[in-house]
Chain A
């Protein structure tokens, strides 16, 4: 295990000479051709689907100009690198990369950065901070009632600056900021784990963003690229806490028969028992060293996938974890070579599977 690795950012002179120069110049030509609009059709890219900043999109003034565009002298240009999207007469460019843009229903992870009048400000990695209204959280004890002035004074005892929470986007405003809610038991304050930030464009919106992984670890892949890796809540503990094991069991039985309405969600009556003050506790459970190491390994895998710019989903993460186990000790995953090899192995294995 090398203590330090310092590398030069440039290609070495020898590399340039030994690499087949013909190939490289050909590659350059191909890239140049792609940038030439006339050639795009030829190699199968739709003539105008990909644009670079400053590229002319249309001279037709009848289009409405949406996000990612600007206009000069009646011509519309792209202001970002991305794909053109056309909805009726609205023309916009969806950037390949950039800040997270909240959409209603997104499952995200955020960090409280401030408290103001009846609301928390939540950092999401978006252009604006999100807003979590006092009315959009579960009160400890699960009481369902209007929030009073005394609740407003106690907001810091529920969530304070620096706290991480997972939540859902309830609605978005016209300026792109989001209003959030945590009105479900799967949302709330995060404990027992570690935070990792990846590029928001790498996380694809799916039905479920909370996954149990091999190794006794769970992850929340927030759509905004903020992820949380934590120790899986053990079943025994959960049942013990709820004092309602009978109901959980009957639900499990029902699960084997097939889906029934409302299954998996928590009924209003159980809400009271499940959400005691504990859901806003700051204390971690006892976490063994091996779990901590697994968490740190998953974190390294996510960092590696982020480094290789591979979209992250649960299957790939499991695969990356398996590959990383083959690389030996967790400490080995720090180097760039290890990150690259995880990315390459992952892509190769996906190619093999087809």
Chain B
């Protein structure tokens, strides 16, 4: 979608005004309505599906495997598949690294430790099933789906369950492979639910910048007039790496003022708690229904 000059000028002027008006009449801190559910893939430990009104849909699955290595970088594997994009494009690889690195930084690896020798290895597969027509053949760079992907991964991880170990935990001396209980009723959540041991996997927020205005979750029209985009990562109640500049579309890019980065981080600080609470609610709500759906 290419906007006409008059149209983009109208949207730009509305955004940079002292009281910004967004084209879809949201507040600068407001998200578009999302729909999500989880725990619907019977073959994976945790799964989630999240989509928004324009049809962008993201399915994520978390699978666990038992391995002997304890190399931290081996324990989390991420793969992203985007509808209409080859796996080896810069976009896919960049998104994969961003998600993987942010998860590694925020993960509490003690939950993956199974016994003295064995670890759980996580495979996180993400598939973007549909993108609106407007995304293709246009100036958009698709980086804005990063926010949806990271929410999907968050729900999938939060709802993931691991089977209960019934063999001995201390197996340094014994030559024994870990065995698990067959009963899924006694399985435990990958990320413990009690507040002391629980942690938050990284959430990545996409913030758009124009003039002195910062907006969260920019829509397609807004991306055309935005001067800059930033991704800000949030985990365990604070802002973490990566905070990175992204060009959301190639239409109207300009330089970036340093104080705008601070403004973007403040915006994320304001919304992050509410977003993660909403996601937690989804992750907790549906896991109970796991048995009834299948």
Which positions in A face B, CB cutoff 8 Å? 1-10, 13, 111, 161-164, 189-195, 282-284, 287, 289, 292-293, 296-297, 299-300, 303, 330-331, 333-336
Considering only residues 250-283 of chain B, those with a C-beta below 8 Å from chain A are 271, 274-275, 278-279, 281-282
Q: Which of B19, B34, B285 is the one whose CB lies under 8 Å from A4?
A: B34
Q: Is the CB of A192 within 8 A of B6?
A: yes
Q: What residue in chain B is nearest A191 (Cβ atoms)?
A: B6
Q: Is the CB of A284 within 8 A of B3?
A: no
> Separation in Å of the A77 CB from the closest CB of chain B?
29
* A300 surroundings in chain B (CB, below 8 A): 24-25
Given contacts A293-B21, A299-B25, A330-B25, are A6 and B13 in contact (CB under 8 A)? Answer: no
Q: Is the CB of A10 within 8 A of B37?
A: yes
Q: Is the CB of B33 within 8 A of A334?
A: yes
Q: Is the CB of A13 within 8 A of B25?
A: no
Q: Which of A2, A8, A163, A333 is the one whose CB lies under 8 Å from B37?
A: A8
* A297 surroundings in chain B (CB, below 8 A): 25
> Separation in Å of the A220 CB from the closest CB of chain B?
14
* A1 surroundings in chain B (CB, below 8 A): 27, 30
Q: Is the CB of B17 within 8 A of A289?
A: yes
Q: Is the CB of B10 within 8 A of A3?
A: no
Given contacts A6-B282, A299-B23, A299-B25, are A283 and B9 in contact (CB under 8 A)? Answer: yes
Chain B 48-76 interface mask (CB, 8 Å, partner A; 1/0): 00100000000000000000000000000
Q: Complex formed: what's the CA distance from A313 to B29 in Å?
A: 33
Q: Is the CB of B274 within 8 A of A3?
A: yes
> Separation in Å of the A314 CB from the closest CB of chain B?
21
Given contacts A289-B21, A296-B25, A334-B24, are A8 and B36 in contact (CB under 8 A)? Answer: yes
> Separation in Å of the B21 CB from the closest CB of chain A?
5
Given contacts A8-B36, A8-B285, A13-B292, are A3 and B6 in contact (CB under 8 A)? Answer: no
Given contacts A2-B274, A8-B285, are A163 and B4 in contact (CB under 8 A)? Answer: yes
* A190 surroundings in chain B (CB, below 8 A): 4, 6-7
